[in-house]
Each structure stands twice: as structure tokens, then as C-alpha cells.
Amino acid sequence: MKISHMLSAAVALALTGVAPAPAAVAHDRGHHRAAIPFTEATVTAAEDGSYVVEWQAPGVRRVAVEANGEVVARGGASGRVTVRGLPAADRQWFTFDAGRGHSLRLADRLIPLDGTVNFRDAGGYRTADGHWVKMGEIYRSDSLEKLTDADLAKLRRLGIRVDYDLRMASERAAAPDRVPAGTQYVVADVLAGSEAFVTMPRTESEAVAMMVEGEKFMVGGDTAKTAYRTVFDGLVEGDGALFHCTAGKDRTGWAGAALLTALGVPRATVMADYLASNDYRAEANAAALAHMTPAQAKVYKPLLDVRPEYLNAGFAEVSERFGSFSAYEKQGLGLSAKELRELKRELLVG
């Protein structure tokens, strides 16, 4: 791609969207919610096909980890084990069992696909009051136009039932989504023709300022509020949902941050999940910058990044415009108290 073309697309790319965040989640469809003793639990897939499973369960004497119906690791209140020799699978799930019905069903967060780099599970986090956000229910991603037939088959097996496209009309026309047959496609255009982000920044500081202002718009802009209300209305209705933009980091990033915050996940964890896009997109971002002169790359890099100051600007805008996140849930996201309870009932365990 020519540099001029890349720069002309900078704002659209920048507004799409510490280490990879924990990849674990509780998953329990039983009729009662047992207290979950795990305070931390992760599964991390390696390129050689092995998995590192880790956990912290204070006060628990014995933990067994199962995969495919067999125990693959044992330990006490804390553990870190590398598991090898498991057969290939779309997603390898592990059940962390602390006894007495206290278990978590976990997988690596990233979903490897040929046509994306930032397709991942939106769940897998512990809330401030000890619940866990389920994994295997809600997904977030970068653009989907490059999905292969094999990718589409995998998404069918994952149970993706609805795709919320957060992109502008020009983005959708240039790169139409590919989704499995039968998947509902819903446009939830966050920017919706806004002219606020059409000028390429000339300096690094201008680029950072643009990203900060973009984050604020995602909170208070009329088209943004309409789009996110559409998404959250759908999330209340059930699982199997996917929301995405172009890079899966800004528009998608705010959707993920708002969802996790509404579910009670601590701010530090929400920030870690947001910043994980820097790692998942590292190779793609480096390739884009490599085609530019050093001066161009210096201006462009803030548009490719996610940074704490960007997300913090969004939360600051919540306080400024709405007074509290609870008020934003009602006035910005359109969630009633009943709908928020239903969302938590659907997506939390423990």
C-alpha cells in the first residue's frame, strides 16, 4: 500500500477498534452459583501446541485441572503447569476443579483465525465481588473481510449468532464482513458520518489529542450512544454475539470496557484488557510503520496504539457528562436496572 493511501486511511484505522490479559473464565450453567475460590486462573496457548495453566485459589488444599475428560494437572492453592500432547481443537477448554462443585471452565482468550489478528473472547475476568465473566459467550474482533472459509466454519462451531459492525459506511463498503450463513448482521455505526475525525494530524501531539477526543466522542456523541445502545440491547438478549470495528481496538475497545465495567470488573483489569490490543496487533502495526519514513511513523504511531490516556479520557467523559458510570449505563447505554440484572445473570457465574 502506498504511504499516501495509508495516511488518508489513518483516522478510520485509528478509530477502529500489558501483556495479553488473562485468558481464563468461569463457565457454569448449573442452577445454583457456588462460591468460586479462584482469584486468578489463566490458560495460555503456545505456538508448539502446549498450554500453560495457572491458578490462585487461597485456602484450597487440592486443585485438579481436566482437559477432554482427563486430569492433566494437579496442585494446591496455587500452581503453574505446562500441559503437552493434547489433540488439536478449535479451542482447548480446561476445567479447574477445587472440589465441592467449585470449578471454572477456561480457555486461551485469543481465537486464532487466518483472517484476523485481534479476535478474542470478551470474558474471562473476575469481578470486584468475586464473580467471574463467562467465556464462550461474547466475542470482540478486528475487521472480518479477510475471513477464510475455514474461519467461517470455526465461527459456526463457536456459535456466533449475531455480528455487530461498529464501522462507518465507507469502511463497510470497502471491506464487507464475511460471516457464517445464518448469522444476523447488525450495523451499529459509532461515527455514522461524523466529520469530527477527517483531518490527518500533522504532529505526534495532534495525533494523541485526536485519539483522546475520539474516545470522548465514543462516550458522548449522539451516533455513538445510539450504536452502543444497539449492541447492549442485543447482549442482554443472549450469547453468541460478536462486536467489531476495523482494528478491534478503539470503537471495539470502548464497547469491551463498558461491558466489563457494567459487569463489575475492576478498572485495572478493564485497562489491561483494553491495552492487550497492543500485543495482539503488534506485528500488524509494526508492518504498517515499516512502510513509512521515521517522521511519518512518529505521527502515525499514536493512531495505531491503545494507551491508558485514551481509555482514561473515555471514563473521564463519563464522569463529566453523566456524573457516574451507573448514570451512563442508563442514559448512554440505555440499560434499565432490570436489563442490567439480566445481563449479569447471563454473563456472570460464582
pLDDT per residue as tens, the chain (350 positions)? 333 333 333 334 444 333 333 334 344 333 344 479 999 999 999 999 999 999 999 999 999 999 999 999 999 999 999 999 999 999 999 999 998 878 999 999 999 999 999 999 999 999 999 999 999 999 999 999 999 999 999 999 999 999 999 999 999 999 999 999 999 999 999 999 676 566 889 999 999 999 999 999 999 999 999 999 999 999 998 889 999 999 999 999 999 999 999 999 999 999 999 999 999 999 999 999 999 999 999 999 999 999 999 999 999 999 999 999 999 999 999 999 999 999 999 999 98
Q: How far is CA 84 from CA 63, 70, 81, 104, 106, in A?
A: 19, 13, 10, 20, 16
- For the chain, what are the domain ranges? 3-19+136-349, 23-108
pLDDT of residue 35: 77
* Alpha carbons 172 and 187: distance in angstroms, whole number: 9
Dist. CA 200–CA 153, nearest whole Å = 38
pLDDT at 338: 97
Annotated catalytic residues are: 245
Identify the pLDDT of residue 97: 95
- pLDDT at residue 23, as a whole number: 39
pLDDT of residue 157: 95
The burial class, CB within 10 Å (0-12 / 13-18 / 19+), for 86 is middle
- Say yes or no: do domains 3-19+136-349 and 23-108 share a fold: no
What is 23-108's CATH number? 2.60.40
| Order of strands across the sheet that contains 120-121 | 120-121, 138-141, 241-244, 162-165, 184-187
Q: What is the pLDDT of residue 246?
A: 97
Q: Does 3-19+136-349 carry CATH code 3.30.300.210?
A: no
- Kindly state the DSSP code that residue 21 receives in the 8-state scheme: P
Rounded distance between C-alpha atoms, residue 243 and residue 251, angstroms: 9
pLDDT score at 84: 97
Give pTM, 2 decimals. 0.90
Joined grid coordinates for residue 135: 467465556
- What residues have CB less than 8 Å from 141, skipping those under 6 apart? 116, 118, 119, 120, 242, 243, 244, 248, 252
